[in-house]
Chain A
Amino acid sequence: MQLIRCPWCGPREEVEFHYGGQAHVAYPDDPAALTDEQWARYVFFRDNPKGAFAERWSHSAGCRRWFNAVRDTRTYRFLAVYKPGEARPEVAS
């Protein structure tokens, strides 16, 4: 089991966390203006890279707060963790 560093609590065991999928997916600015295809993109389509991926995690069995992480989907290694609202950090995978 790997340790995941919660930006508020520090390193904790993986079982304390809940996965939230791709990060930085913003709600549409003008939802009424979206075509069906654009809605489909927003609702169903997410990136699925083999390599560095910015994603959301929740420390659900700890402080219960959400944060973001960049993780390598090949090795599962966490490359960076950062708080919501912060920009995705530049990391080499």
Chain B
Amino acid sequence: MSELASGSSAQRTPPGAHLPEHPDFLWRTPEPRRTYDVVIVGGGGHGLATAHYLAKNHGITNVAVLEKGWLAGGNMARNTTIIRSNYLWDESAAIYEHALKLWEGLEDDLGYPILFSQRGVLNLAHSEQDVRDSVRRVEANRLNGVDAEWLGPDEVAKLCPIVNVSADIRYPVQGATYQPRAGIAKHDYVAWGFARRADAAGIDLIQDCEVTGFTTDGDRVTGVRTTRGDIACGRVALCAAGHTSVLLDMLGVAAPLQSHPLQALVSELLEPVHPTVVMSNAVHVYVSQAHKGELVMGAGVDSYNGYGQRGAFHVIERQMAAAVELFPVFARAHLLRTWGGIVDVTPDASPIVGRTPYENVYLNCGWGTGGFKATPGIGWCMADTIAHDEPHPHVAPFSLDRFTTGALVDEHGAAAVAH
């Protein structure tokens, strides 16, 4: 058989053929009960992970996860699935590295394939200042036990040959940080894995159930009002991402959050050409190739506040221009789909987690553009916080009162997404 014939598309394995089959059964669809020990508002990744670890680590199963749409249909279904822990400050490194260690064992923990692929992430530097900041971050990462290396342009090209490292582009690549343990996972499978385990533990996952208000008694919340009736509860965890401000307004609690559209896109299916994850702050695009073969790209938030789960096309155009400059081979790839999610951005690009003025309401928000990578870590820490009524040490630095004390955790550099 000639090489040509053996390479013909008819005989090749179709893209995605190696992916696992969808299971027949994932979770029940229960009617909400009238009372629960814990109500989690938001059935995305963070809410489902919190539910899983409440059951697994603390034996707390009289729990409902309330989701206004369908499970994991918000940002959990819309992110670009990048997982890494190479953040600058000790506080961030602790929570994201905790998450990354959990990712490394998550498939076994959930008994579900999540296609976690540790293919590494390159964060490109394009200016002298980028280089200084990046090298500083590499050193900070190492001090925190996070794997990190500084690579020159030649080493970047060796790792990812399709990156244009020539000197004659507008913002030449001057090097990159590299975290080998970083990677991507299949976001839907992650959500389904958490949901399936939480459901099996007896936790009620209630979809199409929007929270419309809260009943309070002094500084305690006694229940939530929903489109499916009132539900009494002992403790409440808010895991509502871009809609957190809407919930907090119902409680009269202020938080420094701004909700923005964040867009992403995929190309049509392509042969495997991109072996790692590449992010560039300065030219501003981040790209990986999904398991099936789509190029997955994202960039910065749309500038204005918005709750619309869509954004403006000129933002897509800019990130495509950046992608084609960095990866000339993409010039003929076709855009297949674009979409948007609503991300809740904070002034220091770090999350807000922990207590609220209500003694039995716990907050988990402000993950902005980077919440997916934290999913197991924050689920673990939120469950611990709820169970012990005390912020877990990994989330304690991210309290709401840091904006008053001034103890900000400025991660605008390592967040790697403009906002």
Asked if B276 is an interface residue, CB under 8 A from chain A, the answer is: no
Report how far A53 CA is from B306 CA in the complex, Å: 10
Within the complex, which residue of A21, A36, A43 is in contact with B258, where a contact is CB–CB below 8 Å? A21
Residue of A1, A14, A48, A74 with most partner-chain B CB within 10 A: A48
- B405, A36: Cβ atoms under 8 Å? yes
Closest to B261 in A: A76
Chain A interface bracket (under 10, 10 to 19, 20 to 34, 35 or more): 20 to 34
Q: Which residue in chain B gives the minimum CB-CB distance to A57?
A: B304
Bound CA–CA A71/B312 (angstroms): 15
Q: Is the interface of A mostly helix, strand, loop or mixed?
A: mixed
Give Cα A66–Cα B257 distance, bound, in whole angstroms.
24
Q: Are B305 and A73 in contact (CB under 8 A)?
A: yes
B311 nearest CB neighbor, chain A only: A76
Instruction: Tell whether A76 pairs with B256 under 8 Å between CB atoms, given A36-B405, A50-B243.
Output: no
Look across to chain A and name the residue whose beta carbon is closest to the beta carbon of B303: A19
If A36-B405, A48-B259 touch, whether A2 touches B312 (CB-CB below 8 Å) is: yes
A51, B256: Cα distance in complex, Å: 18
Q: Chain B contact residues: over half helix, strand or loop, or mixed?
A: loop
Residue pairs across A and B with CB atoms within 8 Å: the count is 61
- In this complex, the member of A1, A21, A44 whose beta carbon has the largest number of chain B beta carbons within 10 angstroms is A44
**Which chain A residues (34-63) contact chain B, with CB distance < 8 Å?**
36-37, 39-41, 43-46, 48-50, 53, 55
Task: Tell me if A3 is interfacial: C-beta within 8 Å of chain B.
Answer: no
Contact of A15 with B314 at beta-carbon distance under 8 Å, contacts A44-B403, A48-B245, A50-B246 already known: yes
- Looking at A21, A40, A49, A75, the one whose CB has the most chain B CB atoms below 10 A away is A40
> Contacts A1-B314, A36-B405 given: A45-B256 contact, CB under 8 Å?
yes
List B contacts of A44 (CB < 8 A): 256, 347, 403
A64 within 8 Å of B (CB atoms): no
Nearest chain B CB to A38 CB, angstrom units? 9
Do B258 and A46 have beta carbons less than 8 Å apart?
A: yes
In the complex, which residue of chain B has the Cβ closest to the Cβ of A50? B307
Chain A residues within 8 Å of B, Cβ to Cβ: 1-2, 14-15, 18-19, 21, 36-37, 39-41, 43-46, 48-50, 53, 55, 71, 73-76
Chain B residues proximal to chain A, CB less than 8 Å: 243, 245-246, 249, 254-259, 303-308, 312-314, 347, 403-406
